[in-house]
Amino acid sequence: MCCLDEDAARASELLSLDADLFLPGALTITGENCVPAIVCEKEAGGQCFVLARASAPLDAGEAAQEAEEDLGSSPDAGMAEVGPGCMRHLAWIGYRLMEGVGKERVALLDDLISEDDEFAEYEPSEEDLEFEAAEEFRALRSVVESQIRMERPPEVRKTFVSLLRLHHSRPAAIDMIADVLLDEMDADELGTDDLDIPHYIAALTRLPQQS
């Protein structure tokens, strides 16, 4: 009964947590050995916590892929939202709250997947292909990823979450925002440092409705 009580307490702990965004990744245990991990964030209030489950030693890519599969393995889970039933499922398959572990300790799947995987679900326009060939579009993707993580401006993060909730993959959502950024820069022939932020934000708020 002690083990059952402990499992019930851990499941209850996960069910009490609240988050808007769930990012699969890998938590390093020793050396290059990692376990599946999920970074959970609350859009309002800055809440952030990390879940992880025990596994055989894996490299970072394998662990992050397993975490992504775990997120999608519950009936009421999407890759952008995890409902109470999914939290119960994560507890049941072994995920635990990692006290004192911040998101900087987790290597996110987005940062680990290959370039081929990143663009697999995205069909760029001819203009985008020209930018990709010159590596300029990749540079814009890096700018967008930085805007999402730093929430500068915060509307970029909100747009990213909205696109995930519409079941776009993370790489595709980043590409779509980068397209908007590219259009804004092309319109005024500006660099990212000179961007008209209010106009950029206005374009972003229309993006989820247009997708």
Task: Please indicate whether residue 84 or residue 107 has the higher confidence score (pLDDT).
Answer: 107
Low-confidence winner among 69-73, 78-82, 138-142 (lowest mean pLDDT): 78-82
Over range 64-80, report the average pLDDT.
74
- 79 — phi, psi (to 5°)? -75, -10
Low-confidence winner among 6-20, 64-78, 137-151, 157-171 (lowest mean pLDDT): 6-20
- Dump pLDDT digits (tens) for 140-191: 888 888 888 888 888 888 888 888 878 888 888 888 998 888 888 876 555 6
* This prediction's pTM: 0.51
Over range 30-50, report the average pLDDT.
83
- Dump pLDDT digits (tens) for 174-183: 889 988 888 8
What span, in angstroms and rounded, lies between the C-alpha atoms of 98 and 82? Answer: 18
Over range 1-10, report the average pLDDT.
52
Check pLDDT > 90 for residue 33. yes
How crowded is residue 58: how many other Cβ atoms within 10 Å of its Cβ?
18
Over range 108-133, report the average pLDDT.
61
Rounded to the nearest integer, the mean pLDDT of the chain is: 76
